[in-house]
Structure 1
Amino acid sequence: MTGSVVLSQARQAVAAAGRVVVKVGSSSLTTAEGGLDRSRLDALVDAVAARRAAGGQVVLVSSGAIAAGLAPLGITRRPRDLATQQAAASVGQLALAHAYANSFGRYDLTVGQVLLTAEDVVRRAHYRNAQRTFSRLLALGAVPVVNENDTVATAEIKFGDNDRLAALVAHLVGADALLLLSDVDSLYDGDPRLPGAQRVPEVTGPSDVDGVRAGSVGASGLGTGGMASKLAAARLAASAGIPVLLAGAADATRALSAADVGTAFTATGTRLSARRFWLGHASAATGRLFLDAGAVAAVVTRRRSLLAAGVTAVEGAFEAGDVVELVDPDGAVVARGVVAFDATELPALIGHSSGELPPEQRREVVHADDLVPLTA
Structure 2
Amino acid sequence: MKKYLIVICCLSLCGCAVAKERPELEYQFPNCGTSQLNGKTINKVCATRDFIAPEPRKRKRDWLAFLAAEGSSGYKGPRDPVGGIFHFENKELDMQGHVWDFSKQENPSLVLEGHDSTIKNGIILNANITLGQSNYCSPNFSTKTQCYNIVERNGFIYAKTDTSGKIVERMKLENFKNKGGRFGLYSWDGMISNSRLLLNSSLDISGSKANILTNNIISKAIFIEEDRKQFILSKINKTIFVDQSSQILPDRWHDNVAIPSTLYLKFSPDTVIDGNTFTLTNKNDQAYAIVLDHSPRVRITNNIFNGFKVPILMDQWSSIVDEKGNEIKPQQFTGNGNVINPNKYAGEVTMNRKGEIVKK
Q: Give the TM-score normalised by the residue count of structure 2.
A: 0.27
Q: Which has the higher contact order (CA 8 A, sep 6+)?
A: 1
Bigger proportion of residues as helix: 1
Q: Give the TM-score normalised by the residue count of structure 1.
A: 0.27
